[in-house]
Amino acid sequence: MDGQQWDRDILVDLFNYRDQQCISNTPFGGNDEEDKLYWREDITGEYTCLPIRTNLYAKRVPVPLICPMCNMEDETVNHVLVNCTFANQCWERRCLYYRASNISSFDLWLMSILDRTSKDGHGEIVTMCGSIWQARNQLVWNNKKSEVNSVVFSTKQYLAEWKMAQGSSTKALYRDVIPGDGASSWVKPKENTVKVSVDAVLFTELSKYGIGLLARDDSGQVIQGRSEVYDGSVRPEIAEAIAVKEALSWIQVRGWKEVVVETDYLMVVQAIRSKVNMKSPFGSIILEYRRMIMGLNIELFFVK
């Protein structure tokens, strides 16, 4: 913010076009009002705070109050993003910051943390909040439990992609995106189609990495899941490429005919769709995927 206006340069630096518009359209309060931080998650832009359960409860929406991540305490913004054991582990994994036991609101916590962090770290803090919130939504809406590792991993990945987008042009980054990409929540596949969600996690300290596959039918019911842990330290894009390739083998073994595969790792989707043959280990996994998929009716999409 710059006086009573949003600082355009900072908005352009930190947010995508849609979010820039949302933020620019957010009016300021009166001069004597204290600044507050809000999350504009709702697509309609109608709500200016997270649809967190205690808020919904206050609006007389009958929902359980308890935090779905730990089932220990009431679900407030401060709890989910900061004080919950799950959030705590996420922050601690990145050696970021401190328990907020004596800080009563999320606004205060965020402001104090941004205050004591270099500007370079701001992106990670904000992105981490988004990733933790997404993990909470995955559990509430899709009944999918997230690992601390995967939250930390997706935060790093998002930031890396964002930095890459700053280096090249955004247009180049999204060049290979096709209709069906970019869904931010799980959508049912077409009739008689199986949808396989793919995820990879790195356990850096243990020199291991894992893949997770989850198949759902067209009604959204989980048909089957599979997870594997492998030895070795690999780069995140390799772990994800292996996960996507393993999904193909799994689909073939299961004999599913109409299948949609989705991953949240854009680089893998781009590499598979492009015609470029890379000589790197990553490239050979991609090549293997392209070879395996020939003749199969499997579509691959990128999801946020």
Binding site for Zn ion (CB under 5 A): 67, 69-70, 84
Distance CA(204)–CA(234), nearest Å, equals: 9
With b for 16 or more beta-carbon neighbours within 10 A and e for fewer, the 106-122 pattern comes to bbebbeebeeeeeeeee
Q: How far is the CB of 139 from Zn ion (least distance, A)?
A: 11
Cβ-based nearer residue to Zn ion, 134 or 263: 134
Q: How far is the CB of 184 from Zn ion (least distance, A)?
A: 23
Please, which residue, 67 or 272, has the CB nearer to Zn ion? 67
3-class DSSP assignment, residue 272: helix
State both tokens at 201. Answer: 């996690």
Minimal distance, residue 89 CB to Zn ion, in Å: 11
Residue 87 or 248: which CB sits closer to Zn ion? 87
Min dist CB 60 to Zn ion, Å, is 23
Cα–Cα distances (Å) from 32 to 28, 29, 39, 111, in that order, read: 11, 8, 22, 18
User: Residue 129 Cβ, how far from Zn ion at the closest point, in Å?
Assistant: 15
Q: Which helix (H) or strand (E) holds 9?
A: helix 8-14
Minimum distance of Zn ion from residue 38's CB (angstroms) = 21
Distance CA 295, CA 26 (A): 50
Of the pair 68, 121, the CB lying nearest Zn ion is at 68
Supply 256's token pair: 């599913």
Helix (H, G, I), strand (E, B) or coil at 299: strand
Structure tokens at 181: 């990409």
User: What's the maximum distance between 2 C-alpha atoms anywhere in the chain?
Assistant: 66
The residue (of 136 and 195) whose beta carbon lies closer to Zn ion is 136
Which residue, 103 or 271, is less far from Zn ion as judged by CB? 103
- Cα 255 off chain centre by: 30
DSSP code at position 204: G
Q: Minimum CB separation from Zn ion for residue 85, in Å? A: 6
CB of 73 to Zn ion, least distance (A): 6
Burial of 61 (0-12, 13-18, 19+ CB in 10 A): exposed
Question: Exposed (0-12), middle (13-18) or buried (19+): which is 218, by Cβ within 10 Å?
Answer: middle
Nearer residue to Zn ion within complex by CB, 50 or 238: 50
DSSP tag of 233: -
Closest to Zn ion by CB, 89 vs 224, is 89
d(CA 110, CA 116): 10
Please identify which residue in the block is written with the tokens 């890459």: 164
